[in-house]
Chain A
Amino acid sequence: MTAIAEQQRVWQREERRAGWRRAGKRGLLYTVATLFALFAAIPFAWMVFTIFKQNTDLYNGKNNPFLYNDPPTLDNIRLLFNQTNYTTFVVNTIFVAALVVVITLIAAVPAAYALTRLTGRWGESLGIAIFLVYLVPPTLLFIPMTRIVAELGLKNSRWSMVVVYPTFTIPFCTWLLMGFFKSIPWDIEEQAMIDGYSRLGAIVRAVIPVSLPGILTVIAFSVAMTMHEFVYALAFVTSSSEKTVSIGVTTELIRGDVFFWQSLMAAAAIVAIPVALIYTLFLDRFIQGFTLGAVKG
């Protein structure tokens, strides 16, 4: 009897210990996750927190900066939209992004299809070469590019960005779409061609509809990349009526030593957060492209 009771006690003790260890592991997991989340998000949290501060609150050195000492206000957002060129920047960004999407689709969709279906062995190698073009950074090309833009008569115009941005969206999106087209079975085109469509007809009527998720991904990334680009825009455009958000906000709203911090932060957050949401939605596709298909997630 005592032997059994002894055994049970040992088991109970072991179980309790395992329970503690599990709880410890969970605790560690949550702690580390929280620390990383804080590190990533604090600049944004501070950004958003600042937007609603009144000037009297923000510029009073005696105030606790982590509280709203005066009631929060929307005045700074109103100032941003009514007294700065912010709306112009937003409109320009949408204009550039929309046209970049169109150009990217026109070039990347057929290219990706050709590389996966029509060019045989060297298609794959050429595809990788095109992807490597994406890694050639704007910081290496912006000096001669300013000259080309001037030659094209686009200096200081938002059209300069429309023309130049596809240089990085086309390579990346072609590569992404190649992955999509590879996963579409041949039968789809074959069936369409048996039904009497030409190859082009088969592509338009059978392949494009099933690759809509891929095309959507391309649209999302072309928009995101347009928003992210900085050095070309800075080098090409100087007048504020042609600027996009990224350069407009950082060059126009920061004037010498006079900062409208709250409006500046509003300007950043209003654009940054929607872009981040879209990007996160398509992140897995992005990574699949980046790992060269070496990893199938």
Chain B
Amino acid sequence: MSTATGRSETPAIAWSEDADVPEGRYLLDRAGLLGPLMLLPAIIYIIGLVGIPLVLAVLYSFSNATVGDQSINWVGLENFRTVVQNATFRMALKNTILFAFVSQIIVIILANILALVLSAEFRGKRLVRFLVMLPWTTPIALAVLGWFWMLDNVASPIDALMRMLHIIGPDTIFDPKARAPILDIPFGDRNVRWLSKPDLARLAVLTVHVWRTLPLATVILLAGMTAIPQDVKDAAEIDGASYWRQLIYVRLPLLAPIMAVAVLYGIVFTFTDFTVVYVLTRGGPVDSTQVLATWAYFKGIQGSSLAQGAAIALFLLPILVAAAIVMLRLARRSETA
């Protein structure tokens, strides 16, 4: 890779001695000037609309800004104190961590299986690939809307199926009169009402996160699998290693770095996600599925306390810094490799 960068000043080309070249062209032909000039629009955009907001986000969280009065008066750690003492915030923090980490543990297991399936050749593979990618490729809000309808209080097809199989409904094995209800699930009811019970609503959010990030992890793993050199596989084959031994001792260790990448993106995307919870539950029932991003929105925009909203959102920062460090390490490794 470094061959290209090493040559950046070298191309010794006849045009520099061409007397017809006007002055302006000379200037623009110099890499040292043209480079920064071409970078300028992107850099201005990033500093102006990512850098400044990031600084403002930190400043707001130490101020008493509201939607009405946006002047920044220093109040120290007061916002953080107020925020941390709030029970809903603690719930949001717990949920955010729970959703991100539990969903990614499940995702990495499923993604390994799915990537193994998709690396084999079979009929209808293109269709299967298109279908399993759908949760990632469709706009988030619209995809989650599908689940919102699937989990409807009255018309959920899951309930209908369970009723047909006599799992829910009166006189079934889960009739609450017959035995103590498990979790908070009144199976004796006509409907489960997935999004109206705290535990089930959390389970629903978790499921949607798994559903949505599984395709991403899978394609990342697939890319990693194709990169395993054929001679390594051949060597294992010749040594007479069984399929499972090859999987455990050859493939998985070689895939470990790329699995780390997949998990990292999964955690970043689920940890900072707003849309799934907003569309599915709006943080309900009674704030039981609230996450940092949604709670920041309800406090900061709808509740018009910009300062507290910013303080809540700032709790997203540590995970991102950690992710950035890991990414940089990986990048350095791939450069030296």
Q: Interface on A for B, CB 8 Å cutoff?
A: 26, 29-30, 32-34, 36-37, 39-44, 46-47, 50, 58, 61, 64-66, 106-108, 110-111, 113-121, 123-124, 126, 128, 130-133, 135-148, 163-164, 166-167, 170-171, 174, 182, 186, 189-190, 193-194, 196, 198-200, 224, 227-228, 230-231, 234-235, 245-247, 249-250, 261, 264-265, 267-269, 271-273, 275-276, 279-280, 283-284, 287-288, 290-297
Contacts and interface: CB of A to CB of B under 8 A. Distances in A.
Contact of B5 (A121, A234, A267): A121
27 contacts: A29-B120, A37-B127, A40-B214, A66-B160, A111-B42, A114-B34, A114-B39, A128-B328, A128-B331, A133-B46, A135-B323, A136-B320, A142-B297, A143-B301, A143-B306, A147-B70, A163-B49, A167-B50, A171-B42, A246-B141, A250-B145, A261-B155, A276-B137, A283-B133, A283-B137, A292-B334, A297-B227
A244 to B, nearest CB: 10
A38 to B, nearest CB: 8
A27 to B, nearest CB: 11
Chain B interface bracket (under 10, 10 to 19, 20 to 34, 35 or more): 35 or more
Interface of B: 1, 4-5, 7-9, 11, 13-15, 18, 21, 25, 28-29, 31-32, 34-39, 41-43, 45-46, 49-50, 52-54, 56-57, 60, 70, 110, 113-114, 117-118, 120, 122, 124-125, 127-143, 145-147, 149-150, 152, 154-155, 157, 160, 211, 214-216, 219-220, 222-224, 226-227, 257-258, 261, 265, 268, 272-275, 278-279, 292-293, 296-297, 300-301, 306, 309-310, 313-314, 316-317, 320, 323-324, 327-328, 330-331, 333-335, 337
B1 A40 contact: no
Contacts, number: 340
A216 to B, nearest CB: 17
A240 to B, nearest CB: 16
A260 B261 CA distance: 41
A193 B174 CA distance: 79
Given A40-B135, A113-B38, A135-B268, A249 B297 contact: no
Which secondary structure characterizes the binding site on chain B? Answer: helix
Contacts of A196: 15, 18
A170 B13 contact: no
A198 B15 contact: yes
B54 A141 contact: yes
The list of the 4 closest CB pairs from A to B, nearest first, reads A118-B35, A144-B56, A43-B146, A110-B38
Contact of A291 (B21, B42, B160, B258): B258
